[in-house]
Amino acid sequence: MNTNLQKAVDGTRITPAEALDILKNTSWTEVVEAGDAIRRRMNPGNRVGYTAFRIVNYTNVCEVTCSFCSFCRPAHSPEAYVLSLDEIRRKTLEAKAKGADQIFLQGGVNRDIPLSYYTDVLQMLTREMGVKVRGFSPVELVRIAESNNITLDELLDVLKEAGLSSVPGAGAEILSDRMRQMLSPRKLTAQQWCDTLAACHRKGLPGSANIVVGSVETAEEIIEHLNYVRSTQDRAPDAAHGFKSFVVWTFQPQTDKFPIRHVRGDEYLKLLALSRIFLDNIPHIEVSLLGMGLSLGELGLHAGADDINSIVIEENVLQNHGLTTIEAAEKFITDAGFTPYRRSLNFD
Ligand code: SF4
């Protein structure tokens, strides 16, 4: 086995330069073998996790206008919306009827929404309906704080008090400022994204992180991204309040405003395994069934992943090609040769 891979398998942290060498110069099968070995060390046993939640896109108004997004609308668009509390309540009841007890609130950057809307929604979901809520990407959090003339720390206190229990590491795409300038120049810089999540972790709001590949990112930028994530996790106060998991996504062709390329299966599995190898401080790696399909997803469970992410009841930003019922998730994991277990969004 490659020396750097063996080093990682033996439990020693590898450097970004060593990870780059692995990505560029090592066969995907060797990397997958090492990723699987590390997964078995970090998550012993044969268990594979899944969770069940409903994504509620509370508004589609967004001023950020990422080049890859087909979901956002300007505030004056006839298709623009902000969901009422009643509409969110109805969607939550539907989710609960299908077995989901968690809501993932995700919207755009809509400065017309008052802070009281967010606290009312959170209080309704957690206190009235008894569901757990993950919500708000870093750019949403930063712009909500700005719009209300409060600091990010103050905003996080308010949202946590209202019921927010975790935050997604959404909007990372590729944490390289060259790529961010091309894909979403109005989003946060790579360092701002990390600092925002680090602030959430300090406030006791854990979450997840991801990478999205399949555009014109370079191998160096992929490693830069992984290193940003690992360094941010190193700043977390403890393991319970940082990134609980990491997912490798691929860009989906929603618009023709940015270069997109097919990510081959071997390329995906190699990156999934390298994520397991490099991110030695993040407990779980999730495979993206949505982006890569069920067959490759099954192989991902032998390449470092120990989780299939989620059954998805609704998602507007990305069309759903994954599993949609708890029974289907459990059957998929069992058929793949593993023992399914249901976890919360926070891996509680
Ligand atoms: S991806 Fe998110 S931040 Fe970007 S334009 Fe769409 S809704 Fe806005």
Residue 75, H or E segment: none
Rounded-to-integer distance, Cα 253 and Cα 260, Å: 7
What CA–CA distance (Å, rounded) separates 13 from 261? Answer: 31
Q: What is the DSSP letter of 112?
A: T
Q: Measured from the CA of 60, which atom of ligand 1 is nearest?
A: 7
Return the ligand 1 atom nearest residue 62 CA: 8
**Is the Cβ atom of 69 under 6 angstroms away from ligand 1?**
yes
Q: Is the CB of 184 under 6 A from ligand 1?
A: yes
What pLDDT does 314 receive? 60
**Pocket probe mutation, ligand 1, options 56, 58, 60, 64, max atoms within 8 Å of Cβ:** 64
Digits of tens for pLDDT over the chain (348 positions)? 889 999 999 999 999 999 999 999 999 999 999 999 999 999 999 999 998 889 999 999 999 999 999 999 999 999 999 999 999 999 999 889 888 889 999 999 999 999 999 999 999 999 999 999 999 999 999 999 999 999 999 999 999 999 999 999 889 999 999 999 999 999 999 999 999 999 999 999 999 999 999 999 999 999 999 999 999 999 999 888 899 999 999 998 788 888 999 999 999 999 999 999 999 999 999 998 888 889 999 999 999 999 998 776 664 444 445 677 888 889 999 999 999 999 988 887
Whether ligand 1 lies within 6 angstroms of the CB of 209 is answered as: no
Strands 102-106 and 284-286: unpaired
Could you tell me if the CB of 72 is within 6 A of ligand 1?
yes
Residue 290 is predicted with a pLDDT of 81
Amino acid letter for position 39: R
Distance (Å) of CA 285 to CA 38, 40, 304, 306: 11, 12, 7, 6
User: Does 64 contact ligand 1 (Cβ within 6 A)?
Assistant: yes
Closest-CA residue to 274 (of 90, 65, 23): 23
- Report d(CA 243, CA 249) in Å as an integer: 16
Q: What is the pTM of this model?
A: 0.95
Ligand 1: which of 58, 67, 68, 69 to mutate, most ligand atoms within 8 Å of CB?
A: 69
Residue 66 CB–ligand 1 contact under 6 Å: yes
The per-residue pLDDT for 346 is 83
Q: Atom 7 in ligand 1: which residue has the minimum CA distance? A: 108
**From ligand 1's centre to the CA of 138, what distance in Å?**
11
Domain 15-342, CATH 3.20.20.70 — does that match? Answer: yes
Residue 258 pLDDT: 87
Residue 69 CA, closest ligand 1 atom number: 6
Ligand 1 mutation pick, 60, 66, 182, 316, max ligand atoms within 8 A of CB = 66
In ligand 1, the atom with minimum distance to the C-alpha of 108 is 7
